[in-house]
Chains A and B, each alone.
Chain A
Amino acid sequence: MSDDLALQVENLDVHYKDFQALWNVSLEVKRGEIVSIIGANGAGKSTLLNTISGLMVPTQGHITFFGKDIFGLSAHKNLAGGLSLVPEGRRVFSRLTVYENLVMGSYTPRARSGRDEALDRLYNLFPILKARSDQMADTLSGGEQQMLAIARALMSDPKMVLCDEVSLGLAPAVIKDIYKRLNQINDEGLTIVLVEQDIQRSLKAARHAYVMLEGKVVLEGDPSSLTEEEVKKAYFGI
């Protein structure tokens, strides 16, 4: 039964010094699923992703990734283990070219051998990046930078990718395009966790959804079984 579990988070508490950002958060992601975490600004979504990926150190709880305990492991070790994060705000390397950004994505020894195939695959997925490969990353538009951030996170051939607010500040047409690509790579077998403020879009994409409010998970379920009323109540805490 636990064989198809990709990620399991149990009773996670996270503090920023004296402030508790996450309270007893638990969630499960099955292999090959798209799971959505929605919530308003400051609900703790990014904190949760940053903690899972190892950028932040949790206070207590359990995090298991494909059966392996990764609680408190640092980000570079988690990446080597196949857990990749597309960070909030894209964070592309602005003074490196698009090509160099992608090459950095294959930094781990495991990824280096498959670099050229991964490059081909991602250039196919995002043809615009191939056209822009020699440009500095900071000359790209917001949407292109987001595609670069996603492609870069996929260069290491991860087992799971966590996406933090990939639609933030982008035009609806671009968002639609990016979601199409995310569905495409999910069809190829990659497990995806999406964090969004945009309720409609992320519920449509997901197999399972969690709603967070003030550092706690307040609602979870199959998007088709959740009523709009329920979700709105949980989202705004009314």
Chain B
Amino acid sequence: MEELAQPILNGILLGGLYAIVAIGMSTMFGIVKLVNLAHGDLMILASFLCLSFMTWLGVSPLLSLFVVVPIMYFVGFFVQGYLINRVLGKEMEPPLLVAFGISIILQNLLLLIFTPDARTLETSLAIKTIPIADFLNIPVIYLIDFLLGLGSISALYFFFQRTYMGRAIRAASDDETAAQLMGVNTRNIYAKAMGIAMMTAAMAGVLIGMTFTFYPHTGPQYLIIAFGVVVIGGLGSMKGALAGGLILAIAQLLGAHFFGPGFQLFCGYVVLLVVLALRPQGIFGTI
């Protein structure tokens, strides 16, 4: 039993990171039915932005969040407002293709600027641990991932429930025409919603960069994690993203523990398949 404690603890903490990786994509699907194939690449864009600020200004990754998060808001506002809104209509394919295009452009742009080298957002926190028993240590960086992930999701939840803008976003996703009749400029509100989704992506990107190594083409790897999380938890649901993140991460780390590191991803997808078979709409899904 004791040797299981560490992978489960790590799984829970990593689950918080997976949840923040997925929440932006899940939210945008819930609002405009957009499957944002560029979500992973936009996250990695944030990682590289953070890297640049660290080299230029010599700040720590966590401090750079104060710059990276606002920048990513405007990136999201631009992407939705000037690119995706133009093809938003009855069909799902055109926005999907635009997102795919953004994904390809971003990967190659990052490759051009930053070269294909492995990068990491260096921080002394990465190697620190807090021992809580002989057999159990809390990796500090995982703890930070978990706390910031959870904190961001709570803030997002509060935003959607309590503010005029959050309610307007939910109302517009419920009935666009009726929202316009309430005085909501729905196209503008979609752009702002994407801006907010990209703020969560910025948070996720910086945390990923601090925890793992990343390359210009790492985006799709996290896109797949985001997909896994929302499929398990249910598309468009915030509780679902949290639950999905925890389940996927714990499954992965227990898999790695029992069968070896090569089985880490495999075990995550087995759980994914089981959920798809038993509850295709996801745990908190409504469809």
Contacts and interface: CB of A to CB of B under 8 A. Distances in A.
Interface of A: 53-55, 74-76, 79-80, 84-85, 87, 91-96, 100, 103-105, 107-108, 111-112, 152-153, 156
Contacts of A153: 181
Interface residues of B, number: 17
Interface string B173-185: 0110111111111
Contacts of A112: 164
Contacts of B46: none
B167 A104 contact: yes
A233 B181 CA distance: 35
Given A93-B171, A112-B164, A104 B179 contact: yes
Nearest to A50: B177
Nearest to B173: A95
B183 A93 contact: no
B241 interface: no
Contacts of A111: 183
Contacts of B168: 104, 107
Contact of A76 (B170, B171, B174, B185): B185
Contacts of B183: 76, 79-80, 107-108, 111, 156
A93 B164 CA distance: 14
Contacts of B164: 103, 107, 112
Interface in B146-167: 164, 167
Contacts of A75: 177, 180-181
B88 to A, nearest CB: 16
A107 B178 contact: no
A93 B177 contact: no
**Minimum-distance CB pairs A-B, first 6:** A79-B183, A91-B178, A108-B183, A75-B180, A93-B174, A76-B183
B171 A55 contact: no
B171 to A, nearest CB: 5
Residue from B170, B183, B186 with most neighbouring chain A CB atoms (10 Å): B183
Given A104-B168, A104-B171, A107-B164, A92 B180 contact: no
Contacts of A55: 177, 180-181
A73 B63 CA distance: 45
A232 to B, nearest CB: 33
B167 A79 contact: no
A231 B183 CA distance: 36
Contacts of B171: 93, 96, 100, 104
Contacts of B180: 54-55, 74-76
B45 to A, nearest CB: 32
B174 A79 contact: no
Contacts of B170: 93, 95-96, 100
26 contacts: A53-B181, A54-B180, A55-B180, A55-B181, A75-B180, A75-B181, A76-B184, A76-B186, A79-B181, A84-B181, A85-B181, A91-B175, A91-B178, A91-B181, A93-B170, A93-B171, A93-B174, A94-B174, A96-B167, A100-B170, A104-B182, A107-B183, A111-B183, A112-B164, A153-B181, A156-B183
Nearest to A112: B164
Nearest to B168: A107
Contacts of B181: 53, 55, 75, 79, 84-85, 87, 91, 153
